[in-house]
Amino acid sequence: MSESPNKTHFGFQEVDENQKQNLVADVFKSVAGNYDVMNDAMSMGLHRAWKWFTIAQSGVNPGNEVLDLAAGSGDLSLKFAAKVGPQGRVVVTDINPAMLAQGRRRLTDAGIAGNIDYCLVNAEQLPFDDNQFDCISISFGLRNVTHKDVALREMQRCLKPGGRVLVLEFSQPTNPTFSRLYDAYSFNVIPKLGELISNDRDSYQYLVESIRRHPGQEELKQMMLEAGFDRVRYHNLTGGIVALHVGYKY
């Protein structure tokens, strides 16, 4: 008899581990065309401030090499390209071809070329050398990874000694009253926005559910320490709706 596959979560559903990647791929294929519009609508534009804060914490300098995982439509990649300059390099990656194409179009339209490469990448199996990058970022993508511990170890492997990793992700509000209001907004408003803007309620229902299944601030910090990162810290943004975790390699 063949061994039963392990289970994992897809939103609030329990699914076979070997199914999750395709299910997540279907979600992002569906939302790619309206991704930026929905980000603005759902966060009321706050995602822009969260990403600028991430860049400010990156320590990236001219000439550096940056890996942007789950880059989506390229918000962070665009900013990193400006910081590393013509002597540096940004590797823009996503596991989903539709999202990677969306990011490529956006960066090309912005005139970004020369210091940018594009790569279809699974965060659990990075096709890069050990100690290659000065900075590695993953923005609103880690929660979609099946084996987060594996992805974190891969990031640690590919980071240069002295480099830093940036994990920007939805997290857990720190105030109970605010948390209840956030739950009401998330479950009642966000799927409706998805239906109105993208004609896709189900994908944004998954988004809300996936946030609730993602490790909280302290749990993710511990996972990063176990993956080999040092001096891990996190910054709660907008009351903990989002947290930026920063870790170093020595």
122: left (phi over 0), alpha (psi -120 to 50) or beta: beta
Torsion angles phi and psi, residue 127, rounded to 5: -90, 45
Rounded CA gap, 171 and 213, in Å?
A: 10
All structural domains of the chain, each given as residue ranges with its CATH number in brackets, are: 33-248 (3.40.50.150)
Q: Could you tell me which residues are annotated as the binding site for S-adenosyl-L-methionine?
A: 73, 94, 122-123, 139
Average pLDDT, the chain: 92
pLDDT tops 80 at residue 228: yes
pLDDT at 20: 76
Q: What is the pTM of this model?
A: 0.91
pLDDT at 183: 94
Q: Which residue has the tokens 């009351």?
A: 239
Rounded CA gap, 82 and 176, in Å?
A: 39
Residues with Cβ within 8 Å of 50's Cβ and at least 6 positions away in sequence, in order, are 43, 168, 237, 238, 242, 244
Question: What is the band of 1 on the pLDDT scale with cuts at 50, 70, 90?
Answer: very low
Q: Could you tell me which residues are annotated as the binding site?
A: 73, 94, 122-123, 139
Neighbours of 181 (CB within 10 A): 13
pLDDT tens for each residue of 30-87: 777 777 788 888 888 999 999 999 999 999 999 999 999 999 999 999 999 999 999 9
Rounded CA gap, 66 and 133, in Å?
A: 6
Rounded CA gap, 193 and 158, in Å?
A: 38
pLDDT at 17: 81
Rounded CA gap, 195 and 74, in Å?
A: 24
Rounded CA gap, 132 and 161, in Å?
A: 9
Rounded CA gap, 44 and 37, in Å?
A: 10
